[in-house]
Each structure stands twice: as structure tokens, then as C-alpha cells.
Amino acid sequence: MPRQRRRNPNGSGTVTKRADGRYQAAVYVPQPDGTVKRKYAYGKTYDECDQKRRELLDRAKGGIPTPTRDMTLGQWFDYWLEMIVKPDLSAGSYRTYSLAVRNHLRPRLGSKVMVKLGIKELRGVMQRLAEEKTAKTAKHALRVLSAALTAAMVEDIGLTRNVAKLVHVRASTDSGKSWDAVTVLRFLAAARRLSEYYPAFLLLCLLGLRRAEVCGLRWQNIDLDNRILWVEQQRQRTSAGTIDVDPKSKTSKAPLPLPAQCIAPLRWTRMRTAWLRENAISKGRPWFEDPEGHVFVTRTGRPLLTASLYLIMQRVLRLEGLGKMSPKGLRKSCGTLLVHLRVHPRVIKAILRHSRIATTLDIYAEALDPDVVFAVGQLDRLLRQPARIRQLEAAQSDSDTH
């Protein structure tokens, strides 16, 4: 009696041998959009393919979506933002990526099958986006798309290359202007006269802190006696409200030496907070008891918001007639001044806490433009004087003979 072929239970998938000798597993798996589709996996041997079938079943039983080859970019964006970006990155990064997807990528690429997206097609889309918006907008959208496709390559959906990395958008890399030392001193003098948050601006200019880090600074992060400041958190607006979150990157979380001229203003800030509290309580006015002990607070005791610090800075600039500048520009000015002091790029990277040395070198290269021009001018003058070159060659030969 012939042996009957054993069948897998319904819903457990199948493993079959293809005409090319490989094995193919087929399993129905959930999709990010809630539907169910058949997913294929391949292997050189039956056991290898059967192992992939079991892994797909385990993911399906755990409710984990498994994208298929015919997934559109719009479907992948939904999955990527909610399952990868939101849990792993900061709320600010999630918001930035979501805006780029909603405003630029989904309307133009959402219906495209991800694994079929070609270089020529993507280049045309980016060129049209640059014409309709700006080149910087297109470059940012391309960067977000590249991050999404890089994450997709980790999934077993057949994506073998990131076409976004093969398309380039030419856009200015200018990261904003910076001030020289005189202008920085003018601003700090004006801030000292016009704002009680002068110590916050000192930290922006002298240590290059981000404004979210300044607003998230707590007294437990500052050792005034030993003059050390620890950057442990930053103040960010999230879906849960304005809260303290981890710094922008792992390198951002670091101790910094506190400049001597910051000590007295910070002591004054602590006394001001205590006076505001006593005055509010004695007069029956509302006062917020900050359990986290933020350094910079409002008149009612609540932690200072980054938007408020920006508006205070703009008021000082307007009254002093210093033109336009942002807190990010103060941070860049700090890096530029360190460059002019001939500080090594790696030291500047440690002070500004950049995650990549390339970011520091961009500031370094930009700040050294006048020096580069001067050096090239000297070389040009040298090469215009053949007689001078012959003199140098003669002097070199004399030194070699002796």
C-alpha cells in the first residue's frame, strides 16, 4: 500500500521544491495595514526553508506584521513610523519624519511598490519636489526616505538595495550664520541688562548647549563648587505634554567644565527662584512646586519652555539691534570661536557633544575659510615667481651636499 503524504495542518504553511532546485515556503502572515497576505521564503535545502516557515509562523502567532514584496511605500511608511521610529527614536525625530512622510513622500511615492522603486523614477520625483518647494526640502525628504529603506532592508521582503542612496540632490549645506567674539559680547551685555535669563544665554554661548538642554537643566546636574555641569536631559514637547527626555544622542550626555563667569549668575538664579517662591506664597499667588528642580523657571515656578527662551532672545536682539539669530546660531558661534582659538576638532566635538566628527569638521572648515583663502593666495604668489623657486631649489641642494 503506497505511503500517504503527510499534510501540514491548515494555516501552518507549505514547503515545496521549485524547478530550479531550491525550496520555497509559503505562509499567510499579517500585514501592517491589518490585512493578511501570503509570504514566500526560500532556501537551498528543505530544512533551511522549513526553519524560515516556522519563524514566519512564530511572528504571525505573536501578532508581528511581516511585510511582503508587493508592499507599497505608503504601507511601509506606516509600519516604519509606528513600529521602528516611534519606539527607538526621540519624539522630535518621530515628528520630523512624520511631517516629511505626510507632506512630501506619501503624496508622491505612497502608491509605489517598494521593491520596484527605481533610481530614474526617484530622481525625477526629487527633481520635481525641488522645483515645487526647495532643494533643501527635497534633500531632507530624500534623507528620510533613505532611513526608511535602510530599515526595510533588514526585513525579509526582498529589498536588496537602497535606491535613495544612489540619488543625489544638490542643495546648500549652510547651517546658518555665526557671530564673531565682539558680537557675542554685545549680545551677552544686552542680555544681562534686559533679561533675568542671562545665565541661560551664557551657557548657550560658552558651552554651546542646545536650548532644550538649557531648559531641561536641573540643580542636581550642577556642581557650583567644583565647577562641573552634567547634561542629562532636555526639555521637549511630546504627545504626553512638555517633559524631560534623554538628550539628542548618546554623546550629548556628558559632563562639561563650568566656566568661572557662570558661577555667580547661576547662584543669583537660585536665589531669584527662592525669592519668587517666598513672594508668591506670602501674597497668596499661584506657585508651582517643581519636583525636578529645574534651574530656569518662570515667575510661577514652572520650568522654562524652549519657545519662551527663543522669544526672550528675539526681544533682546530687537532691542539691541543685532539682527536675526537663533539659539542654534549661538551654539554654532561657540564652535566657530573655538576654531579661531585653534582648538583641535576632537576637543570641539567633545565640548559641543556632536555624535559625528564630520559635523564638527563642517563648522571647522567653514570657520577656516579666511585662512584657506590666505594660504592659497600665498601659494599663488610663490608659484608666480620662478626665480624664487630656483633659489629655494639651490638652497635645498646646498643643504643636501653639506
Q: For residues 291 and 379, state if they share a domain.
A: no
Domain coverage including residue 397: 371-401
In a domain, 198, yes or no: yes
Place of cell 537551498: 44
Q: For residues 116 and 222, state if they share a domain.
A: no
Which CATH number characterizes residue 119's domain? 1.10.150.130
What does the pLDDT read at residue 37? 79
- Is 32:67 a contact under the CB 8 Å cutoff? yes
- Point out the domain boundary residue: 119, 140, 166: 166
- Point out the domain boundary residue: 135, 166, 197: 166
Which CATH number characterizes residue 288's domain? 1.10.443.10
In a domain, 55, yes or no: yes
CA 174 to mean position of chain CA atoms: 16
What's the per-residue H, E or C state across 251-269? HHCCEEECCHHHHHHHHHH
In a domain, 224, yes or no: yes
What does the pLDDT read at residue 388? 57
Q: For residues 49 and 86, state if they share a domain.
A: no
* Cα–Cα dist 398/89, whole Å: 64
Q: For residues 202 and 345, state if they share a domain.
A: yes
What does the pLDDT read at residue 311? 95
Q: For residues 290 and 339, state if they share a domain.
A: yes
In a domain, 323, yes or no: yes
Q: For residues 118 and 242, state if they share a domain.
A: no
In a domain, 269, yes or no: yes
Q: For residues 219 and 356, state if they share a domain.
A: yes
Q: For residues 257 and 317, state if they share a domain.
A: yes
In a domain, 68, yes or no: no
* Other beta carbons within 10 Å of 344: 12
Domain count, the chain: 4
What does the pLDDT read at residue 267? 95
* Cα–Cα dist 76/97, whole Å: 13
Reported pTM: 0.63
Residues 6+ apart with CB under 8 A from 2: none
What does the pLDDT read at residue 1? 44
Q: For residues 198 and 325, state if they share a domain.
A: yes
Q: For residues 131 and 233, state if they share a domain.
A: no
Q: For residues 282 and 244, state if they share a domain.
A: yes
DSSP state of 322: -
In a domain, 6, yes or no: no
Nine cell digits for residue 115 = 521593491
Q: For residues 22 and 90, state if they share a domain.
A: no
What does the pLDDT read at residue 390? 65
What does the pLDDT read at residue 84? 86
Helices vs strands, H then E, count in the chain: 17, 8
* Cα–Cα dist 268/326, whole Å: 25
- Point out the domain boundary residue: 166, 197, 232: 166
- Is 280:300 a contact under the CB 8 Å cutoff? yes
In a domain, 176, yes or no: no
Walk along the chain (402 residues) and give the pLDDT tens digit of each residue. 444 445 566 667 888 888 888 998 888 887 766 678 788 888 889 999 889 888 888 878 877 677 666 778 998 898 899 888 888 877 778 888 999 999 999 999 999 988 889 999 999 999 999 999 999 899 999 999 999 999 888 876 667 889 999 998 886 554 557 888 888 899 999 999 999 999 999 999 988 888 989 999 999 999 999 989 998 888 887 666 777 677 766 666 778 888 888 999 999 999 999 999 999 999 999 999 999 999 999 999 999 999 999 999 999 999 999 988 988 888 888 888 887 777 888 888 888 887 777 767 776 656 655 555 566 666 666 555 556 556 666 776 766 666
